[in-house]
Amino acid sequence: MKKFRMLFIVLLCLLVTAACSSGGTNGNTANSGNNSGNASGDVVTLKFMGWEASPLETEAVKKGLEKFMQQNPDIKVDYQPVPGAQYAQKLLTMLAGNAAPDVFFLGATEYRSFQNRGVLLDLTTMFESQMSLDEFIPSSAQIMEINGKIYGVSSCTVSPVLYYNKDVFDKANIPYPPSDPANAWTWDEFREAAKQLTVTEGDKIAQYGAFGFENFYMTTAEIFSNGGQLFNEDGTQMKINSPQAQEVLQSILDLRVVDGTSPTAKTLESIGMRANQMLQTGKVAMVVDGSWALQELATMGFPVGVAALPKFEDAKTHGQAHVHSASANTKHPEEAWKLLQFLSSEEYQIGLISEGLWMPNRKSLYTEEGIQKWYNESVHPEGFRELVSFFENAEPYPFTLITQNKVNDIITEETDKLWYSGQSVADTLANIESRSNVELAK
């Protein structure tokens, strides 16, 4: 008996000491990093946190950071990628526990609510000494600026666009949707094409015309296109209940329930098909999705085309992308700024842009000369050059300008009722507006 007891005790002690010692070493390295940085100015270690949007993005971030560390031998960047779904929670918990990373990614839709809570470093002076908001395209500039101050630097921009499978169009002998926003299809032209591209076999639909507009991220772009709004100027009130928005929602609903040219989201998604696979397999002829999808679509081995979204009044889309921010409590604001500056530089952006994942947030990259720097024939389909003004002139994504993210869930809930259980368009918009205004007033 006693032998066993001794064995237990020894094991227990081993466990405890092991736990303590590993904790101790971690603490020590962190401390020594900080100390040496403060005392001698040798090497400063910056903690940098981001999410893993795609393996390519993580790879690019790591490559970029290596370059940055070569250029700045006195700064060491410790990169910590976190799964995207829990990112905001994790960051919040770290901030609350005073263990925040020095520099981090921040979703554009969370930027204002984090700033509200005073946890972001005010970058205005440093920003103004080296950059200007005028260098950025309007949507990015508007997202970055909060009451004349800057707390995060835009990374890039992404927007909803229309993708199509060229083979499917060729087979049906229908002209491709135009890339140039000035010649964008009207909604009626789009609807007509979707009807022609819908193929039934027996009593089943073998090929749908279009998919994606029921996702409110895409719906929003069409509301803008019809001259509608989501919020008032300063984002304090919802202004969605308008004839313009009504027309858009009704038109989108009609695609599925009247024309039968669009599947429900779950039909294809629950068999594991994402938008890009729907296009690849020819299940759907046209898909609305974020511009980031091009990176993957370009490698899927079928002729993909990119076009401007169909228009009601004007061809319009919206733009947003995460910002890079620093913690208000960072011990190394200057080094953090150097990193932020690097992360927003052309040299860092261009790799990801030419892979098709990002679009530039600088006006200088939208000129003839600028486009030359990132345009990649193996990724960007024919006609993409004509499309770039679509991104440049995008409206800021409205949910980046408010701080109540509950509004987003209210919209999902009410539009679910519209798409799936027969709530009328008028009721849906009225409910969204009245319920959201209660939240926005809080």
Summarize as ranges the residues that interact with another protein (CB under 8 A).
1-3, 5, 8-9, 12, 15, 88-89, 92-93, 95-96, 113, 117-119, 204, 264-267, 270-272, 404-406, 409, 412-414, 416-417, 419-421
- Nearest approach in angstroms of CB 93 to another protein is 7
Find how far residue 264's CA is from the centre of its chain. Answer: 23
Judged by beta carbon, residue 60 or residue 88, the one nearer another protein is 88
For residue 222, give the nearest of 256, 199, 250 by alpha carbon: 250
Q: Report the residue number, 119 or 307, with the smaller CB distance to another protein.
A: 119
> In sequence order, which residues have a C-beta less than 8 Å from that of residue 356 and are 6 or more positions away?
292, 294, 295, 297, 298, 376, 379, 380
- Residue 427 Cβ, how far from another protein at the closest point, in Å? 12
Is the Cβ of residue 29 or residue 116 nearer to another protein in the bound state?
Answer: 116
Where on the phi/psi map is residue 260: left (φ > 0), alpha (ψ -120 to 50), or beta?
A: left
Question: Rounded to an integer, what distance in angstroms lies between the CA atom of residue 155 and that of residue 259?
Answer: 40
Q: How far apart are CA 40 and CA 49, in angstroms?
A: 26
Tokens of 306: 């990119």
Range 237-268 burial, b when 16+ CB lie within 10 A, else e: ebebbbebbbbbbebbbebbeeebbbbeeeeb
Cα separation, 193 vs 177, in Å, equals: 9
Return the number of the residue (271 or 441) whose C-beta is nearest another protein. Answer: 271
Decide whether 269 or 386 has the Cβ nearer to another protein: 269
Minimal distance, residue 114 CB to another protein, in Å: 8
DSSP codes, 357-381:
S-B--BGGGGSHHHHHHH--TTTSP
Find the shortest distance in angstroms from Cβ 266 to another protein: 5
For the chain, how far is it from start to end, CA to CA, in angstroms?
Answer: 65
Please identify, using beta-carbon distances, which residue of 19 and 182 lies nearer to another protein.
19
Min separation Cβ 18 and another protein, Å = 12
- Nearest approach, Cβ of residue 121 and another protein (Å): 14
Shortest distance, CB of residue 412 to another protein, whole angstroms? 7
| Cβ proximity to another protein, 32 vs 93, nearer residue | 93
Q: Least Å distance between CB 94 and another protein?
A: 10
Smallest gap, in angstroms, from Cβ of residue 368 to another protein?
44
Query: What does the alpha-carbon distance between residue 361 and residue 156 come to, in Å, rounded to a whole number?
Result: 5
CB closer to another protein, 5 vs 301: 5
CA distance 128 to 217: 32
The structure tokens listed for 255 are 């695609």
Nearest distance from C-beta of residue 124 to another protein, angstroms = 21
Sign of CA dihedral 361, 363, 367, 369: negative
**Whole-number Å distance between alpha carbons of 196 and 209:** 7
- Cβ atoms of 398 and 142 within 8 Å: the answer is no
Q: What share of the chain is helix, strand, coil (3-state, %, to 5)?
A: 55, 15, 30
Q: Is 106 or 352 the residue whose CB approaches another protein more closely?
A: 106
Residue closer to another protein by CB (options 119, 238) is 119
